[in-house]
Amino acid sequence: MKKMLKTFVVAGAGLMLLAGAASASEVQRDAKAISYSFEGPFGTFDKAQLQRGYKVYKEVCANCHSMHLVSFRNLSEHGGPGFSTEQVKALAATFTVKDGPGNDGEMFDRPGLPSDRFPSPFANEQAARNSNAGALPPDLSLITKFRPGWFGTINQLFNGIGGPQYVYSVLTGYEEPSEEIKKEQPEGKLYNPYFANGLFISMPPPLTDGQVTFDDGAPNKVDDMARDVSAFLAWTAEPKMEERKSLGFMVIIYLAILASLLYFVKKKIWADQH
């Protein structure tokens, strides 16, 4: 009996120790709960914000990240940033695209066309890793669908998965680690508790206050640019969002009218049966 009790005490103490260890080592923090114009059943993208977000992507992020699922011409399509086709032609031409092989059998560089996709600035994966201390900058086309900002089925049902908030939080989430966490910090990585792939990230903080100048004179602190570029990346991940929402709304109106018609038809047919 005494022996059994002893075993329980030892096991209990062991469990408490384990629990203590688990709470000491941190996990990915929930994204910061900022809000956007495109949330909710009637929310739409703010075109000016998408244009600013594009500019941040182009001037900063495109130095490392591709967007292979987005074509330049998407930027002038309905429900997007609303650039004109002339503007899209001009901005596509500022990117360099690999094409070929030409008549000499070699690949060659040429300026981008509206039909091209956002290219990677690196020749291949190894070149990308070599420039980024071994880490691969992921393609950003679908990042806001791929990475949730928070977890829990009910939470996500009501608040969405928080993809744009995840991007915003990573961009603004570099912090000075505590002494304890510092001991685990790998060489060349920075502490960012919002990053999904461990607490340390290989991306240096990409934004600094005032880095990108907006044509509409909007504020350009790190916080503002992070909001704009995360909104832009919400659009790249779901360019048909506005269409989907207005279609859903029409379907509900249609079903409501159909249901009331059916109700009156039923009443009429059964009227003399009572």
Residues 6 or more apart whose CB falls under 8 angstroms from that of 180 comprise 24
Residue environment code for 161-181, b if the CB has 16+ CB neighbours within 10 A, otherwise e: bbbbbbbbbbbbbbeebeeeb
Residue 197, both tokens: 């792939």
Min dist. Cβ of residue 128 to ligand HEC (A): 8
**Quick one: 126 or 197, whose CB is closer to ligand HEC?**
197
- Binding interface with ligand HEC (CB under 6 A): 56, 60-61, 63-65, 132, 135, 137-138, 143, 147, 167, 170-171, 196-197, 201-204, 206-207, 229
Shortest spacing between CB 1 and ligand HEC, in angstroms: 54
Q: For ligand HEC, which is the closer residue by CB, 79 or 206? A: 206
Q: Which residues of 229-259 are buried (b: 16+ CB within 10 A; e: fewer)?
A: bbbbbbbbbbbebbeebeeeeeeeeeeeeee
Q: Which one, 167 or 234, has the nearer CB to ligand HEC?
A: 167
**What's at 72, amino acid-wise?**
F
Closest contact distance (angstroms) between CB of 166 and ligand HEC is: 7
Q: Are 243 and 78 in contact (CB under 8 A)?
A: yes
| Of residues 42 and 151, the one with the C-beta less far from ligand HEC | 151
Q: State in angstroms the smallest separation of the CB of 198 from ligand HEC.
A: 7
> Please, what is the minimum distance in Å from the beta carbon of residue 27 to ligand HEC?
15
Per-position b or e across 124-152, b if 16+ CB within 10 A of its CB: eeeebeeebeebebbbbbbbbeebbbbee
**Alpha-carbon separation of residue 243 from 67, 201, 230 (angstroms):** 22, 36, 20
- Minimum distance of ligand HEC from residue 13's CB (angstroms): 37
In the bound state with ligand HEC, the residue whose beta carbon lies nearer, of 14 and 204, is: 204
- Report the chain's C-alpha Rg in angstroms: 26
Q: 33 vs 252, which CB is nearer to ligand HEC?
A: 33
